[in-house]
Amino acid sequence: MASGALLTGAGVFSSTRVLAGSAGPITRYPLYVPPTVDVGSLPTAYLLTAKASTVDLGGGKLSKAWVYNNFIPGPTFRAGQGDIAKINLKNQLAQPTITHWHGMVVDYQNDGHPAYAIQPGGQYAYSFPINQRAALNWYHPHPDKLTGQQVAMGLAGAFIVNDPEEGALGLPAGPYEVPLVIRDASLNTKGNLQYKPGGDGFFGRIPLVNGTANPYLNVDTALYRFRVLGGANARVFELALDSGDPFTLIRNDGGLLAASTQVATIDLAPGERVDLLVDFRALKVGDRVMLRDLSAGWDLLQFVVIRQVSDPTPIPTTLSTIVPLGTEVRTRDFSFDGMSKINGLVYDMSRIDFQVPFGDVERWRFTTGGNAPHPVHVHGASFQVVSRTGGRGQLFPWESGWKDTVLLQDRETVEVLIRFASYKGEYLIHCHKLEHEDNGMMSNFEVV
Ligand code: C2O
Ligand code: CU
């Protein structure tokens, strides 16, 4: 069943699938945009079901996949500061699962720790207040050793947090604000999604944007806001426009940057997010622009200008205030060893590796000798990246402000400042290359 046709569920308020057509030398299909669910204003908990199903990856042919509520990606959740998100996860897969809200600052019981995985047929009731800056976060499975398979088979979705600060900027909205979940995938000879990781992780043979292969998006001569999520298991994308125009970068994992910046290319590792303004106002009807991945040499998404409009939306320069975290109380070292260890240890779900005092500023130093990429992700708090030495030897514009995932390449040392000031309890640090995570490159710690 085409995922765009399944819009009858409670709480599903909107969906967009532009009319079919083709553009360019290969057949392209309309970009799928998942329905939005305002989870902050529902009278009852929203039911999110993980199950095997079929999806249309473009072109009408159905592929077997694992999906949240029939969609790849799953519904886009939206909530505002002060709201309470209530979501019931139902497991209709044939294996255990649990959902983690990546980037959401929630207490331990709502964080999707693998110890809380539910068996087939089970349910997990989440309920958490939204108390953080506006951002694009996301949700995906987090069971012990099965995360890579479940994500590659299709389980993931966006979770947007809104707040008054961002609302006051007058950023492009409605049809001009489009989430883009970028990942790679492999199909078997029958056209079904398959998960066959190699020794160095899962690298799919084709890119998918919002679950669409070879997508296009019809656009107006307007300013657009693309909220981009690196949703691959292992692949790092290098985003660029074939027009040579830069992106205007306004936001990353943890919300708005201090100021907007023009960047020609952006590295996007698994788990990272960027918010990009793209200006089509100087183009004419019929013009085309391609969003590309320079790393694999892939065309990701074609923009086709179909309508002339006049759009006065200003591009903001000053965006937010980023208060530096200040001086650390202590430093901790984390060595990402081989493809399965942190500080020499393979993950053990029942072992707590260290304790972090609530409210202290700490300096965490991530290093690796090899086997990168290691996108380092921390649950429970965002951090500020302060330095990178070795390897690429610099910080990039998309690493300023607040982050929850930072890319560690071979022979790099990255230092971040972090402070857990929302909840006590058990959280995780891990490599977001999902095959490394599943192999054990993950550690439990406790905020005390
Ligand atoms: Cu996106 Cu612990 O995960
Ligand atoms: Cu890794």
For ligand 1, whether the C-beta of 113 sits within 6 Å is no
For ligand 1, whether the C-beta of 401 sits within 6 Å is no
Ligand 2 center–CA 235 separation, angstroms: 11
For ligand 1, whether the C-beta of 432 sits within 6 Å is yes
User: Taking residues 101-118, what's their average pLDDT?
Assistant: 98
CA 437 to ligand 1: nearest atom: 2
CA distances from 44 to 69, 92, 100, 160, 363 (A): 17, 21, 20, 19, 41
The pLDDT tens digits for 234-286 are 999 999 999 999 999 999 999 999 999 999 999 999 999 999 999 999 999 99
Predicted pLDDT of residue 12: 33
Lowest mean pLDDT among 30-34, 58-62, 263-267, 348-352: 58-62
For ligand 1, whether the C-beta of 273 sits within 6 Å is no
User: Taking residues 130-155, what's their average pLDDT?
Assistant: 98
For ligand 1, whether the C-beta of 251 sits within 6 Å is no
Ligand 2 center–CA 373 separation, angstroms: 6
On the question of pLDDT at 4 being above 80, the answer is: no
Residue with tokens 């074939």: 242
- 109 C-beta neighbours (distance < 10 Å), count: 16
Ligand 2 center–CA 200 separation, angstroms: 10
Ligand 1 center–CA 284 separation, angstroms: 41
Ligand 2 center–CA 343 separation, angstroms: 12
Ligand nearest to the CA of 441: 2
For ligand 1, whether the C-beta of 271 sits within 6 Å is yes
Grade residue 3 by pLDDT with cuts at 50, 70 and 90.
very low
More confident residue, 249 or 41: 249
Grade residue 60 by pLDDT with cuts at 50, 70 and 90.
confident
Predicted pLDDT of residue 420: 98
DSSP for 321-374 reads --------SEEEEEEEETTTEETTB---TT-EEEEE-TT-EEEEEEEESSS--E
User: Taking residues 320-324, what's their average pLDDT?
Assistant: 97
The edge-to-edge listing of strands for the beta sheet with 352-356 is: 352-356, 442-447, 425-431, 374-378, 405-408
Long-range contacts of 59-63 (CB under 8 A, 24+ apart): 59/27, 59/29, 59/213, 60/2, 61/191, 62/1, 63/187, 63/191, 63/192, 63/193
Ligand 2 center–CA 374 separation, angstroms: 4
Q: Quick one: tokens of 6?
A: 């399944």
The pLDDT tens digits for 72-89 are 999 999 999 999 999 999
User: Taking residues 100-129, what's their average pLDDT?
Assistant: 98
Q: Which residues, in sequence order, are bridge partners of residue 400?
A: none
Ligand 1 center–CA 298 separation, angstroms: 26
Ligand nearest to the CA of 253: 1
CA-proximal residue: ligand 1, atom 1 (nearest):
102
Residue with tokens 């995938």: 185
What backbone phi and psi angles, to 5 degrees, belong to 41?
-125, 25
On the question of pLDDT at 350 being above 90, the answer is: yes
The pLDDT tens digits for 147-195 are 999 999 999 999 999 999 999 999 999 999 999 999 999 999 999 999 9
Asked if residues 77 and 138 have their Cβ atoms less than 8 Å apart, the reply is: no
Asked if residues 227 and 177 have their Cβ atoms less than 8 Å apart, the reply is: yes
**DSSP conformation class of 297:** T
Average pLDDT, the chain: 94
Predicted pLDDT of residue 59: 84
The pLDDT tens digits for 323-346 are 999 999 999 999 999 999 999 999
pLDDT above 70 covers what percent of the chain? Answer: 94
The pLDDT tens digits for 365-417 are 999 999 999 999 999 999 999 999 999 999 999 999 999 999 999 999 999 99
CA 102 to ligand 1: nearest atom: 1
Predicted pLDDT of residue 325: 97
